[in-house]
Structure 1
Amino acid sequence: MARGRICRLSVHNLRFPTSLGSHGFDAKHTDPDCSAAYVVMETDSEDGLKGYGIMLTLGKDPEVVVGAVNALTYYVLHKDLGDIVGDFRGFCRVLTSDEQLRLIGPEKDVVRLAVAAIVNAVWDLWAKQEGKPLWKLLVDMDAEMLLSCINFRYITDVLTEEDAYEILQNGQHGKKEREKQMLRHGYPAYTTSCASLGYSDSTLKELLKAALNDGWTRFKVKVGADLQNDIRRCRLIRDMIGPDKTLMLDANERWDVPEAVEWMSKLAEFKPLWIEKPTSQNDITGHATISEALAPLGIGVAMGEQCHNRMMIKQLLHKKALQFLQIDSCRLGSVNENLSVLLMAKKFGIPVCPHAGGAGFCELVQHLIIFDYISISASLQNRMCEYVDYLHEHFKYPMVIKHASYLPPKDAGYSTEMKEESIKKYQYPDGEIWKKLLDAQDMCSDLTLFFS
Structure 2
Amino acid sequence: MPGSSAITRITAVDMRYPLPPGAGTDAVHTNPEYSLAVTHLETDDAQSATGITLTLGEGNRLVCNAIEILARPLLGRAIEDLMADFGSVSRQIANDSAMRWLGPHKGVVHLALASITNACFDLWAKARGVPLWRLLLELTPEELVGTLDLSYLEEVLPRQCAIDLIRSHQVSRAEREGILKSGYPGYDTSIGWMAYDDDKVRELTKRALARGFSAFKLKVGSADESRDIRRAHMLRECAGDSATLMFDANQQWNLPTAMRMCRDLAVLRPLWIEEPTHPDDLMAHVELASAIAPVKVAAGEHIPNRVVFKNFLRSGAMHYVQADATRLAGVSEFLTVSLLARRLGLPVVPHVGDMGQLHQHLVLFNHIALGHEVNFLEHIPHLRQHFVHPAQVEGGVYRTPQEPGASLDLVNLSVIVA
Q: Give your verdict on TM over 0.5.
A: yes
Where do residues 192-341 of structure 1 align in structure 2 (5 Å cutoff)? Answer: 192-225=189-222, 226-295=224-293, 298-341=294-337
For residue 342 of structure 1, give the secondary structure of its aligned residue in structure 2: helix
2-side partners of 1:278 and 1:310: how far apart?
20
- Correspondence for 1:364: 358
Match of 2:92 in 1: 94
Q: Give the corresponding residue for 2:384.
A: 392
Matched residues in 1 for 2:127 and 2:414: separation? 25
Percent identity between the two aligned chains: 37
- 1:403 corresponding residue in structure 2: 395
Runs of 4+ in structure 1 off by over 6 angstroms are none
Question: Which stretches in structure 2 are left out of the alignment for 5+ residues?
Answer: none
- Provide the secondary structure at the position in 2 that maps to 1:386: strand
1:182 to 176, 179, 184: 179
The Cα of 1:371 is off from its aligned counterpart by: 0.5
One-letter amino acid of the structure 2 residue matched with residue 309 of structure 1: N
Residue of structure 1 in register with 2:32 after alignment: 32
The whole-number CA distance in structure 2 between the counterparts of 1:367 and 1:246 is: 23
1:87 shift after superposition: 1.3
Point out the structure with max Rg over C-alpha: 1
SS of equivalent to 1:194: coil
- For 2:247 and 2:292, how far apart are their aligned partners in 1? 13
1:353 counterpart (345, 349, 352)? 349
Q: By how many angstroms is 1:271 displaced?
A: 1.0
Cα distance in 1, alignment partners of residues 147 and 333 from structure 2: 9
Range 165-174 or range 120-129, more displaced: 165-174
How far has the Cα of 1:170 moved from its partner? 1.7
Matched-pair contact (CA < 8 Å) for 1:53–1:120: yes
Q: Deviations over 1:263-294 (max 9, x none)?
A: 11111111111110011111111111110111
Using a 3 Å threshold, how does the CA distance of structure 1 residues 96 and 241 change in structure 2: closer, same or farther?
A: same
The corresponding residue for 1:15 is 16
User: Is contact 2:216-2:244 (8 Å) kept?
Assistant: yes
Instruction: Please give the alpha-carbon distance, in whole angstroms, between the structure 1 residues aligned to 2:218 and 2:371.
Output: 27
Q: What TM-score, normalized to structure 2? A: 0.96
Query: Deviations for 1:272-322, whole angstroms, at most 9, x for unmatched residues?
Result: 111100111111111111101111xx2100011211110010000010000
> 1:423 Cα shift?
6.9
Q: How many angstroms apart in 1 are the aligned matches of 2:414 and 2:259? A: 43
Q: How far did residue 361 of structure 1 move?
A: 3.1
Cα distance, 1:330–1:421 mapped onto 2, change above 3 Å: closer
Change (3 A) 1:288 1:148: same
Alpha-carbon distance in 2 for matches of 1:73, 1:421: 19
Corresponding residue of 1:449: none
| Structure 2 equivalent of residue 68 of structure 1 | 66
Determine the structure 2 residue equivalent to 1:146.
Answer: 144
Mind listing any 5+ residue stretches in structure 1 that lack a counterpart?
Answer: 428-452
Match of 1:418 among 388, 410, 414: 410
Say whether the 8 Å CA contact 2:181–2:400 is kept in structure 1: no
Which residue identity lines up with residue 93 of structure 1 in the other structure? R
- Establish whether residue 375 from structure 1 lines up as the match of residue 369 from structure 2: yes
**What amino acid is the match of 1:415?**
S
The whole-number CA distance in structure 1 between the counterparts of 2:21 and 2:3 is 42
What residue number does 1:54 align with?
Answer: 52
Q: Distance in 2 between matches of 1:272 and 1:263?
A: 12
Q: Is 1:105–2:97 an aligned residue pair?
A: no
Secondary structure, aligned partner of 1:189:
strand
Deviation (angstroms), 1:37: 0.6
Aligned to 2:43: 43
CA contact (8 A) 1:98 1:106 kept: no
Structure 2 letter corresponding to 1:150? L
**Superposed counterparts of 1:424-439, under 5 Å:** none
Length, aligned pairs only: 415
Q: Distance in 2 between the 1:2 and 1:256 partners?
A: 55
Q: CA deviation at 1:2?
A: 5.9
Cα deviation for residue 377 of structure 1 reads: 2.2
SS at match of 1:361: coil
For residues 406-431 of structure 1, give each alpha carbon's deviation from its aligned partner in whole angstroms, at most 9, with x where no partner exists.
1111000011100117975xx9xxxx
Q: Cα distance 1:109–1:2, how it changes in 2: closer, same or farther (>3 A)? A: farther
Q: What's the offset of the Cα at 1:173?
A: 2.5
Contact 1:249 1:272 in 2 (8 A): yes
Residue 378 of structure 1: CA displacement?
4.5
SS at 2:11 equivalent: strand
Alpha-carbon separation, structure 1, partners of 2:391 and 2:250: 25
- Taking the aligned partners of 1:202 and 1:422, their CA distance within structure 2 comes to 40
1:5 aligns with 2:32: no
Q: 1:244 to 1:423 in 2, by over 3 A?
A: farther
Alpha-carbon distance in structure 2 between the residues aligned to 1:378 and 1:77: 36
Separation in structure 2 between the aligned mates of residue 368 and residue 407 of structure 1, nearest angstrom: 13
